[in-house]
């Protein structure tokens, strides 16, 4: 299984550099998404559930730190690497006292970046090894109950915190159980259910797109449209009436 990476920078040339100049395969990673502002990054992270987020500090709409903090609240197992210019060096040190793993400076030295990625992957592996201390049989029963509950409540605001209270397990452990069973982080798995349900309703019902958005857990029509496009690759209106 490959580590899923989300790249976030408001400079397209930086995103292309990360895509083309770094050997992701060497580290068993693949780029599962890119974003160019903090708001888009949070929505994208909800959809794809990345293992690692490489994010610039200075982003439009909300900063890289604010965006990553929102991602971390929804998916405690996500790891973050901050990207910064030399002038932000002190700011980067402060960032490390938050929930980010490491930082790199622009212009990016890809040899140094490789060491940072390797260290981050080692942390991920250690966490995963430490989390799975329950018996396999017990884990299977727990995760099946969890997935069934998610399918029954996908239209509600079901955060990892709510799942934690419902099943009396810590959020990080829940996230790892779901990832191990489905191949997706919690937020990505929930998005999959919601958008598949939404697509069915778009094709088979006469409900408006805003009504469908509410029925799959989105109170904000615009947020639903952006997230649907990011996950499905088309706007909701494209699937309207398709059989």
Mean predicted confidence (pLDDT) in 10-17:
94
The Cα–Cα gap between 59 and 41 comes to: 10
The beta strands (E) that lie in the chain are given as 3-8, 29-35, 52-56, 79-84, 102-105
Domain ranges of the chain: 3-131, 134-243
**Domain 134-243 class in CATH:** mainly alpha
Question: What tens digit of pLDDT does each residue of 60-79 get?
Answer: 889 898 999 899 888 888 99
Question: What tens digit of pLDDT does each residue of 162-194 get?
Answer: 998 888 787 877 888 888 889 888 988 999 999
Compute the half-sphere exposure of residue 243: CA atoms within 13 Å on the CB side of its CA: 0
Question: What tens digit of pLDDT does each residue of 102-134 get?
Answer: 888 888 999 999 999 999 999 888 877 765 555
The domain made up of 3-131 has a fold known as: Rossmann fold (3.40.50)
Question: What tens digit of pLDDT does each residue of 196-213 get?
Answer: 999 999 999 989 999 999
Token reading at 157: 């605001």
Beta carbons within 10 angstroms of residue 12's beta carbon: 10
Token reading at 238: 């494209």
- Between 171 and 5, whose confidence is greater? 5
Q: Check: pTM over 0.75? Answer yes or no.
A: no
């Amino acid at each position: 299984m490959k580590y899923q990476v989300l790249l976030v920078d408001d400079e397209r040339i930086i995103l292309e550099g990360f895509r083309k100049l770094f050997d992701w395969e060497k580290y068993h990673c693949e780029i599962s998404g890119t974003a160019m502002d903090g708001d888009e990054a949070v929505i994208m992270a909800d959809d794809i559930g990345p293992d690692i987020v490489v994010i610039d500090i200075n982003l439009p709409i909300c900063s890289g730190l604010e965006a990553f903090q929102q991602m971390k609240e929804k998916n405690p197992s996500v790891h973050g690497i901050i990207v910064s210019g030399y002038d932000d060096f002190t700011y980067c040190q402060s960032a490390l006292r938050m929930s980010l793993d490491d930082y790199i400076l622009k212009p990016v030295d890809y040899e140094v970046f490789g060491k940072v990625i390797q260290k981050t992957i080692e942390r991920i592996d250690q966490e995963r090894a430490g989390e799975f201390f329950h018996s396999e049989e017990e884990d299977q029963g727990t995760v099946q109950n969890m997935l069934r509950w998610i399918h029954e409540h996908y239209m509600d605001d079901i955060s990892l915190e709510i799942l934690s209270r419902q099943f009396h397990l810590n959020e990080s452990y829940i996230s790892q159980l779901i990832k191990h069973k489905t191949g997706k982080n919690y937020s990505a798995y929930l998005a999959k259910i919601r958008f598949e349900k939404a697509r069915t309703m778009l094709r088979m019902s006469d409900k408006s797109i805003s009504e469908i958005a509410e029925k799959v857990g989105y109170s904000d029509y615009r947020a639903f449209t952006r997230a649907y496009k990011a996950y499905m690759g088309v706007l909701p209106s494209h699937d309207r009436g398709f059989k």
